[in-house]
Structure 1
Amino acid sequence: MLLIALGANLPFADAPLAQTLHSAVEMLRQAGLSDLRLSPLYATPCFPPGAGPDYVNAAAAAPIPPGWDAARTLALLHRVEAEFGRTRETRWGMRTLDLDLIAFGATVAPDPATFAAWHDLDPARQRVETPDRLILPHPRMQDRAFVLVPLHDVAPDWVHPVSGQTVAAMLAAVPAADRAEVRPLSPDSALVKPV
């Protein structure tokens, strides 16, 4: 199973943020992830705090299509992001669409030592350093309620290949205050409408 985190906090072409996420998922389905399941949408505070408007976040899970690898999947995610005006200028900057490959089955990439180095990276360095290659599973997934809450909706029993923890167990370990910040998105929310 492959796991994707989705988010947006800037409108694209005056479309509501929720519409952007749904449109991106439809593009992914048409590109070969036909069995992709999407979580409900959530409103979450911008990360890091104060860096911009609040986000709409979700997660998706799909069986790995025959012949696909993580690099092909990441390239597809980047193509879809580009269709929605995503640019990569600032680490953790505001974005019209963010599609993160969180996990690709039990793959640990590029190797266990590199994964461990990024997983254990000092928080101060995380703000300024960006890996030059895909790290799988995402080295911060266990720390982020905005990833784990929606991921729990679509893949609660997925097992992290390094820690051995399920998504449900990782979510239970996140502080309650962090989990409470991830709120189900109501249909009348301003995040559903253009701003």
Structure 2
Amino acid sequence: MAEEAEILIGAGANLGDPVGQLREAVQMLARTIAIHRISSLYRTEPVGHRDQPDFHNLVLAARTVLAPEAVLAQLQAVEAALGRERTFANAPRTLDLDLLAYGEVVMDTPALILPHPRMHLRGFVLHPLVEIAPEWRHPVQGHTARELLSCASALERVERAGALFHAGHPLAPAPPSG
């Protein structure tokens, strides 16, 4: 049996019903990976192509025995199932799923670069990542998520927008202890 890896996935949407699509995507992913932390939803301004609606974004942490390429294939299958169309870079979309990190794996292939090459430049990744894994350490840069956010230059607008799942849902965050 393959060894289990800790993975980070970024999710975003800004067309159709972004929150509903993110909720459905997380539920679909939970069938094949063991999700154990989901950030709050964040409403964020678009990066790159700016003439489009704001995005809703989140980051989740999970464990899997799937290889990185198999995780990527799962993410792309969920995107396709929820109507993702690839038109141009930074285009509006019904769903965007990115494999941000796969344990300590560093790889650069035509299909997949790990860790994600721009995650440290994106407020829509760093804010939710710091919420769920502030001490996660970037395997190339060596900085924690908290350090990456504090050192980042001007980032896009990012506002916390609430929880994806309400208390009592199996994928809802556990209440704070203590």
Quote the sequence identity (%).
41
Residue 158 of structure 2: aligned partner: 182
For 2:34 and 2:106, the matched residues in 1 are separated by: 24
Can you list the C-alpha shifts for 1:86-113, whole angstroms capped at 9, x where unaligned? 01121111100000011111111137xx
Q: Does residue 140 of the first structure (1) align with residue 118 of the second (2)?
A: yes
Q: Unaligned regions of 5+ residues in structure 1, if any? A: 112-131, 188-195
CA contact (8 A) 2:12 2:22 kept: yes
| 1:35 Cα deviation from its structure 2 partner | 2.8
Q: How does 1:44-59 map to 2 (within 5 A)?
A: 44-48=44-48, 50-59=50-59
Residue 171 of structure 2: aligned partner: none
Residue 151 of structure 2: aligned partner: 173
For 2:162 and 2:67, the matched residues in 1 are separated by: 36
RMSD: 1.7
Instruction: Give the counterpart letter for 1:44 in structure 2.
Output: T
Query: So what's the TM-score if we normalise by structure 1?
Result: 0.76
Question: Normalized per residue, which structure has more strand?
Answer: 2
For 1:38 and 1:2, the matched residues in 2 are separated by: 12
Can you list the C-alpha shifts for 1:54-97, whole angstroms capped at 9, x where unaligned? 1001111112x23x110010000000000110011211111000
| 1:28 Cα deviation from its structure 2 partner | 0.2
Q: Does residue 4 of the first structure (1) align with residue 9 of the second (2)?
A: yes
Residue 125 of structure 1: aligned partner: none
Q: How does 1:33-182 map to 2 (within 5 A)?
A: 33-48=33-48, 50-63=50-63, 65-66=64-65, 68-110=66-108, 132-175=110-153, 178=155, 181-182=157-158
Secondary structure in structure 1 of the residue aligned to 2:98: strand
Can you list the C-alpha shifts for 1:98-140, whole angstroms capped at 9, x where unaligned? 00011111111137xxxxxxxxxxxxxxxxxxxx320110111
Q: Unaligned regions of 5+ residues in structure 2, if any? A: 1-5, 164-178
Can you list the C-alpha shifts for 1:25-73, whole angstroms capped at 9, x where unaligned? 000001x21334210001100112523111001111112x23x110010
For 2:121 and 2:92, the matched residues in 1 are separated by: 20
| 1:186 Cα deviation from its structure 2 partner | 5.2
Secondary structure in structure 2 of the residue aligned to 1:2: strand
For 1:93 and 1:28, the matched residues in 2 are separated by: 23
Query: So what's the TM-score if we normalise by structure 2?
Result: 0.83
